[in-house]
Amino acid sequence: MDQPVLKVNNLQTYFTSDAGVVKAVDGVSFEVSKGETLGIVGESGSGKSVTSLSIMRLLKDTPGRIADGEILYEGRDLVKISENDMRKIRGNDIAMIFQEPMTSLNPVFKIGRQLEEAIILHLKFSKKEARERSIEMLTSVGISRPEKIVHEFPHQLSGGMRQRVMIAMAMACNPKVLIADEPTTALDVTIQAQILDLMRNLTKTTDTAILLITHDLGVVAEMCDRVVVMYGGRAVEESDVLSIFANPKHPYTQGLLASIPKIGERLDRLQSIPGNVPIPSRMPEGCKFAPRCPHAMDICWEKEPEYKEVITNHSVRCWLHEEVPQDESELVGSTQH
């Protein structure tokens, strides 16, 4: 296996306010290699976006700070480097796209100018080269009349087109890592299909490592090589995509997979996970999933389980898997899907 391009070790990002400290991310570890797509999946508030903003060091304007952990990019710890060094990495080596393209597009400048400026800044191209590269990038993201689009303002484009432009901008500097935070969540399903297809083709040709953040397990199944499942600010399970779907080990992953309605499968009642998505300021002691877990035991309420590799390349944070002398299938009935 390739050396990981990006490796996150026990990341902890806390938000401080008058009301106290919110541990939005509290123990997230994963790594992603060249050409690989790693999915980060979890419900709202599980800390997915804060994880990606931490990697990009984009928490400056928030009350959030990285309290502990390492973010290793090609061996350098991004937590420790200067803001100046980080600026060189951002956009150049690691690029990010958001659910809402207007987060990264400036409403008052034409598309062409924004693309060119990014290219000139990062790749030190001349104005003319930058214009050519812009057109080339817009073409590569499936925009049919790029010469026309460069003269338009973001608001003149549809949601799908804006998302394409943002991808073009992110990919223009050949980043080694692309962080995509819910890139298709706001899009219609036929447009989502276009964008996912585009992302798949782009990475095939560039070998970019992708961190794909989503709440949609369908998108995970179609796009990802490996998956990290997050719950209440923690990574609770990680494995290759086939194992996660065929043999989920964490009760939360099992519940999540069982709750999605699937086309072609007709159930009288859907399975669901009881209770509510946890609120970070009111996290239970012990395992964060205990209040909703059908297998919760005494120890689960008292002590948080560690995140452990229980079989090769399959990590779980759950007391059911803390000791694994028994046959694993006896521990938790695997979920059918």
Ligand X SMILES: Nc1ncnc2c1ncn2[C@@H]1O[C@H](COP(=O)(O)OP(=O)(O)O)[C@@H](O)[C@H]1O
Applying CB under 6 A, the residues found at the interface with ligand X are 15, 22, 24, 42, 44-50, 62-64, 280
| Among positions 143, 241, 293, 310, the unique one binding ligand SF4 when judged by CB under 6 A | 293
Q: Which does 62 bind (CB under 5 to 8 A by kind): Mg ion, ligand X, other proteins, none?
A: ligand X
Measured between alpha carbons, how far is 33 from 1 in angstroms, rounded to an integer? 8
Residue 193 touches other proteins, criterion: CB under 8 A: yes
Q: Which residue has the tokens 């086939």?
A: 242
Residue 115 touches ligand SF4, criterion: CB under 6 A: no
Rounded to a whole number of angstroms, the minimum distance from the CB of residue 149 to ligand X is 22
Residue 49 touches Mg ion, criterion: CB under 5 A: yes
Q: Which residues pair with 20 in a beta bridge?
A: 17
Find the binding residues for other proteins in span 20-79 (CB under 8 A).
Answer: 43-44
Residue 190 touches other proteins, criterion: CB under 8 A: yes
Question: Are the C-beta atoms of residues 134 and 120 closer than 8 Å to each other?
Answer: no
Structure tokens at 39: 């999915």
Which range binds other proteins by CB under 8 A, 53-61, 94-102, 105-113, 183-191? 183-191
Q: Which secondary-structure segment (H or E) carries 77?
A: strand 76-77
* 46 dihedral zone (left: phi>0; alpha: psi -120 to 50; beta): alpha
Q: Where are the alpha helices (DSSP H) in 210-324?
A: 217-223, 241-246, 251-259, 298-302
Residue 266 touches other proteins, criterion: CB under 8 A: yes
Rounded to a whole number of angstroms, the minimum distance from the CB of residue 243 to ligand SF4 is 18
Q: Which does 269 bind (CB under 5 to 8 A by kind): Mg ion, other proteins, ligand SF4, none?
A: other proteins
Nearer to ligand SF4, 85 or 302 (CB): 302
Q: Which does 24 bind (CB under 5 to 8 A by kind): ligand SF4, ligand X, Mg ion, none?
A: ligand X
Q: How far is CA 151 from CA 91, 110, 145, 222, 233, in A?
A: 23, 6, 11, 35, 42
Measured between alpha carbons, how far is 167 from 44 in angstroms, rounded to an integer? 24
Question: Are the C-beta atoms of residues 145 and 80 closer than 8 Å to each other?
Answer: no
Rounded to a whole number of angstroms, the minimum distance from the CB of residue 245 to other proteins is 5
**Site residues (vs Mg ion, CB under 5 A):** 48-49
